[in-house]
Amino acid sequence: MTDETDAIRRTYDKYFQVFQTLRAEAVASFCHVPCLALAPQGVTVMTTAEEVRALFRAMRTALQARGYARSEHGDLQVRRLSDQMALVSTNVVRYATDGEELESFGATYVFRKTDDGWKIAVITIHDPGPV
């Protein structure tokens, strides 16, 4: 495994930990601007840092309303596409405060290397499956 692949994995793990705090500003710091989110609900294009934060604030509100407590992810697959781009895929399970599963889904990200390190440029939420 290359040092860059390790750096991508570490960045994803930090992002995943911070996401569970539901602190929109902290979560948004892991995202590239512009950023694209694709989910079953639709496509969101974020061209400013405030739009990225707004997306995560909306997610926080929705998750809190459902009693969100924590998430777990499965194996993390990292595929380097170039020196500046990588695909990161995993399966995620979210749990409520009572321990019940809220949802499970697949997540694939496009990471882009910037002067500030690896950032998420595209977030894709999809059916769970082999990664």
75-99 pLDDT, tens digit each? 999 999 999 999 999 999 999 999 9
- At the topology level, CATH places domain 3-126 in Nuclear Transport Factor 2; Chain: A, (3.10.450)
Q: Whose structure tokens read 């995560």?
A: 56
Whether the per-residue pLDDT at 128 is higher than 80: the answer is yes
pLDDT of residue 2: 78
| Single-letter amino acid code for the residue at 129 | G
Dist CA 98 CA 103 (whole Å): 14
Q: Where are the domains of the chain?
A: 3-126
Contacts of residue 80, Cβ cutoff 8 Å, sequence gap at least 6: 2, 4, 5, 86
Mean local confidence (pLDDT), 93-108: 97
Residue range 30-47, pLDDT digits in tens: 999 999 999 999 999 999
